[in-house]
Structures are given as structure tokens and as C-alpha cells.
Structure 1
Amino acid sequence: MSPRVLVLTVTYASTEALPAFLDSLTTAGGSVAAVVVVENASPDAVETRSLAEAAGARFVDAGANRGYGGGVAAGLATVGDEIDYDYLLVVNPDVTFTPGSLDRLVAAAGETPEGGSFGPRILTAEGDVYPSARKLPSLRTGVAHGLFGRIWPSNPWTVSYRAEGQTDRRRSAGWLSGACVLIRRTAYEQIGGFDLGYFMYFEDVDLGDRLGRAGWSNVYVPDAVITHTGAHSASRDVKRMERAHHDSAYRYLSRRYSAWYFAPLRLALRLGLWGRLWWISR
């Protein structure tokens, strides 16, 4: 039997981007078993339902804004055993697929049985390659990237962390962007899916980290190409999203350094992130 993919996207005020996303799926590959659109209770919920159902997708009202991982969990809870699938494609609604791109991801998964997740080459709306297959952030690279990433984008810590210059070949990565990631169902269920403690941001970093710890690899597949337009709801409430980003960064790093003797380090991280948030939001 051919592999089957469950496509799941989480929306919030995404009606501008959703039609192009759903339309591009029709040529992305023949492995799509079902498409689920989870609405995180935005003011556009009625229109989102109409667009999803017109395209033959299943619409799920999450009932509240559950964040990214929470939205995925809400969608999967409605699927249960009703839909048989081998892979879960978690993808933003502001993405468009090139023809055959999903099939190429699925083919790479079939060739890589040790792979738990697979990520495509992601292009920006301007056609530039977004470095979406990155190393796991260590304390040093994470802090340096946070401090210098915006004011000095070419700093060596950011370049190393983002694995820039390594976007043209298939390779393993520490984690793959949650904007579009194909996850082997058995791997996803083994680690318990996304950590719902992350409202938004770093849930994909954490997922890649836990997949790696469980013995799976995260594989970058550059011959599968998508475009991420960035027309997403996160840009509508910048201060709230910045706060969520900093909270998630602390959650991730503090859990990596959770031993009692790292308590001073965790305090320094908390104070440093609060200071950075104040600085960029002032």
C-alpha cells in the first residue's frame, strides 16, 4: 500500500493565505489521505470553515486559541482511528507547495527508515532560501544568536546555528522548521507529539530534540520545495508574539539545564530574556 499523509494546518485569522495553500495541495502529491484545518478561535472562524469545507478539508474548531502544538493536538483528537495514515504533515496555512513536493518528502522518508521528521527547502516570498534545518541551540550559540542575530546577522554564532550554506544537500539536522514538517506517525506517537507547554515558538526545536533523543533523525530534503509567504497571524500582534518567543526560549533552555546546580544559570537566563524583551518592545 502506498504511504498515506494526514495534512494538518492550524489557522488564526488566516483566510487571506488559506485558499492558495489548499489549492497548491492538489498538485503537491498523490499521498494525501485527508486535510484537517484547525481554527484557533479567531474572528475569521466562519469564513475559515467555509474555505476549508469548499476545498474538501475537515474543519475543526479548537474552541480557544490553543497555540501551535495545542492546535495540532486538537485536530488529531478529532481524527482518532478514523483516518489511516503513515505520516503527519504539520504545515502553516501561509505556505504553498510546488508540484510534487509532498511526494518527494514522502519518497525521502521511504528511503530513510531511521528518519523521524523530514523538512523541505523553504523559500521566502522573495525567492530566497530560508535556513530551516538548524542545529540544536546550545547555551552559547543560543545566547549569542539572541543578542546579535538582529543587529549583526552574519555573526559566527548565528551562521553556525542556522547552518547557513548547507541548504543544497540532503542531510540530518538538529531540528526542522515547524512551518512545514513531515513526521513519521510511529515516531510522533512514540515521543508523545508536541509539548503543549509551548504556546508558540520552540515547539519545533523541542520536537526535533526529543526525536533525536529517541533515536530518530531529522532529515532536510532540499529537492522538495515550498514557499512560505509569511502572511501569518503572528505578525498581527507583534508584542504578544515576542513575549511568547521569549517564554518559549526560556522553557527550552531551562529544561536542558534543569539540574539543581544550574539554578543560577536559569535565573540569569530569565533575567537576560526579560531584559531583551523589554529592549526590543520598548
Structure 2
Amino acid sequence: MSTSSPVSVRVVCVVYHPGQELEEFARSLRRTASGPVELVLVDNGEDHTVSRDVAERYDARLVVPGANLGYGGGGNAGADGSTTPWLVVANSDLVWQPGSLDALLAAGEAHPRAGSLGPALLNTDGTLYPSARELPSLRQGVGHALFAKLWPGNPWTRAYQARQEAVGEARAAGWLSGACLLLRREAFEQVGGFDESYFMFFEDVDLGDRLGRAGWTNLYVPAARVVHVGGTSWRARPAAMISAHHRSAGRYLTRRYPHWYQWPVRATVSVGLRLRERSELRAAAR
């Protein structure tokens, strides 16, 4: 790690029993920024062999919480004590494209009210993952939850995911995928970081919501590109992640409709999510 100029960004990578992908992440990080980068690995698992090896060879700091804090909790732990103006919270199953972090940082400097910034997330086949979305309304949330897999082109999913391209100017979004997120530390600390009651999933939706309410912009920056392999840490145990996803979705949507007179909304959402969870668990068990 170069020390010729001050470090402006801390990259927090949250892992759980990582494999070879962590090495690829650390290697690609070296070619994505022209300035020095502080890398912090937060290992939520029990076996830290891979994380320790990568930390030693790539001059990173390893944080071992001693318990699985979840993604948002791990992100908070890695960000704790930072004095850099910028933070990145990212999955380990990413490959940074050259110059991508520079592009995100440049966009952040050009947009002083940008509290979070996200790159174009590319799947391994080169297609674009919809990482910059609108905040889900009740209609969109329920429609997307019920029909996204059976009818991918349904109007609720299209509205929720919004139109995205891997080229063009930076634009505002309701929220950005936590798989790779550049955060202005001032904004992140102002809203209290990630809400750790979301163990996995929807912590990024909730953060984007709270940043927007606090007057910050969530900015999608397609000039920055990152390849996302996806799901490497939990591919062998999908049932646990399916259940975690539905619990977090229910928590987020019911919190958006908290009043006593909105109990029919909460009840409908709860029933719909339970039915969808059972369907996905049956499919995963086949």
C-alpha cells in the first residue's frame, strides 16, 4: 500500500467463509484506484484462514467480530473508527474493473450531496444487474414479490427496478445495491450507519431510504463498472438465505406502514411473503 499521499477511502469487505473470490477482489482493488486505499476485511465466519492470508499479502486489516453480525453489522464494524472522507462497503465476490473506484470518487466530488454512489454491476455473462432501484411502494413491492419470477416483465417489477443502462450520465436512484456501495462518511454517520436489525438483505434499501429522508442523494454511476459473481458465500445453503430475505422484506415493508389503521396492509404483506417463501423453499429443496 502506498503512503505517498493521504488515504481518502476505506474499503470494507464483509466475508463469511470466503474462497478464491476474496483474492480476486483484493487483486482487482489494486488497479481500480490511482491513490492509496485502506482495505479492511470483516470476517463473520469461524474459519479465518483465507481472510488472514489475504490480509497479510495485500496489507489489509482483518476484523474478527467473534460472531456473525450479518452484512450491515459487518459493514458498521469495518467502518468504525474511520477518518477517511469516503467508505466502500462491498461483497467479496466482486471484480473491480480498472479505474472504477476512481470514477465513483470523482462522481462523489462532483456531486456534494451524494451520500451513496453505486457502480454498474455486471453479471459474469456481461449482462447488467439492476442495482439502482426505486424505493418499493406497497403496490410495487407486492407485485414484484408475487410475479417477478413467474412474469419477469410485469409492470411492478419494471417500475421497481427502473430503467438502467451501463452507459450514460450519473442519475439519482431510490436506493443502491449494497453489493458495492461508496458512502460519504459524513452522510453514513449522520444516519447512524446500517440498521443492524436487518441481518441480511434490505439493509441497503433501508439505508438508501434514510439517506434520502436526510436530504442526501443515492447516485448511480454507470461509468464505474464492477463484475459481480454473486452468492458465493451462501450458494450451498440457499434455504437460510431465502428465509432471511423474506424476513427482511417483511420488516422493511411493515415499518413503512406502521400506523394502527394500516394493519390490513401489514397482514396482507405478511401472508404474501410467507406464501412466497414456502414456494421458494420447496423449489430450492428439489
TM-score range with shorter-chain normalisation? over 0.9
* Contact 2:40–2:78 (8 Å) recurs in 1: yes
Counterpart residue number, 1:157: 156
Cα distance change of structure 1 residues 277 and 94 upon mapping to structure 2, 3 Å threshold:
same
What amino acid is the match of 2:117?
Answer: F
* Contact 2:165–2:222 (8 Å) recurs in 1: no
* Contact 1:69–1:194 (8 Å) recurs in 2: yes
TM-superposed CA distance for 1:231, in Å, is: 4.9
Q: TM-score, normalised by structure 1?
A: 0.94
Cα distance change of structure 1 residues 42 and 162 upon mapping to structure 2, 3 Å threshold:
farther
TM-superposed CA distance for 1:129, in Å, is: 1.0
What amino acid is the match of 2:277?
Answer: L
Give the 3-state SS of the residue equivalent to 1:178 in structure 2: coil
* Contact 2:18–2:50 (8 Å) recurs in 1: no
TM-superposed CA distance for 1:234, in Å, is: 2.6
TM-superposed CA distance for 1:215, in Å, is: 0.2
Quick check: 1:36 aligned with 2:36?
Answer: no
TM-superposed CA distance for 1:84, in Å, is: 2.8
TM-superposed CA distance for 1:11, in Å, is: 0.4
| Runs of 4+ residues over 4 Å off in structure 1 | none
List runs of 5+ in structure 2 lacking aligned partners: none
Give the 3-state SS of the residue equivalent to 2:235 in structure 1: helix
| 1:82-136 residue CA offsets vs partner (Å, 9 max, x unmatched) | x530011001100011111101100000000011000001110111111111000
Counterpart residue number, 1:146: 145
| Structure 2 Cα separation of the partners of residues 140 and 266 of structure 1 | 13
TM-superposed CA distance for 1:42, in Å, is: 3.7
Counterpart residue number, 1:46: 49
TM-superposed CA distance for 1:163, in Å, is: 1.1
* Contact 2:73–2:196 (8 Å) recurs in 1: yes
Counterpart residue number, 1:245: 245
Total equivalences in the alignment:
277
Q: TM-score, normalised by structure 2?
A: 0.93
Identity %: 49
| 1:173-225 residue CA offsets vs partner (Å, 9 max, x unmatched) | 00000010100000000000000000000000000000000000000100111
Q: Which of 64, 71, 75 matches 1:61?
A: 64
Give the 3-state SS of the residue equivalent to 1:85 in structure 2: coil
| Structure 2 Cα separation of the partners of residues 182 and 206 of structure 1 | 16
Cα distance change of structure 1 residues 192 and 167 upon mapping to structure 2, 3 Å threshold:
same
Q: Which of 67, 71, 74 matches 2:77?
A: 74
Give the 3-state SS of the residue equivalent to 2:254 in structure 1: helix
What amino acid is the match of 1:186?
Answer: E
Cα distance change of structure 1 residues 52 and 127 upon mapping to structure 2, 3 Å threshold:
same
List runs of 5+ in structure 1 lacking aligned partners: none
Cα distance change of structure 1 residues 32 and 211 upon mapping to structure 2, 3 Å threshold:
farther
Worse-matched range after superposition: 187-196 or 30-39:
30-39
Counterpart residue number, 1:94: 93
- Please give the root-mean-square deviation of Cα atoms over the aligned residues, in Å: 1.5
* Contact 1:7–1:32 (8 Å) recurs in 2: no
* Contact 1:10–1:92 (8 Å) recurs in 2: yes
TM-superposed CA distance for 1:31, in Å, is: 3.6
| Structure 1 Cα separation of the partners of residues 221 and 78 of structure 2 | 26
**Paired residues for 1:225-240 under 5 Å:** 225-240=225-240
| Structure 1 Cα separation of the partners of residues 220 and 6 of structure 2 | 22
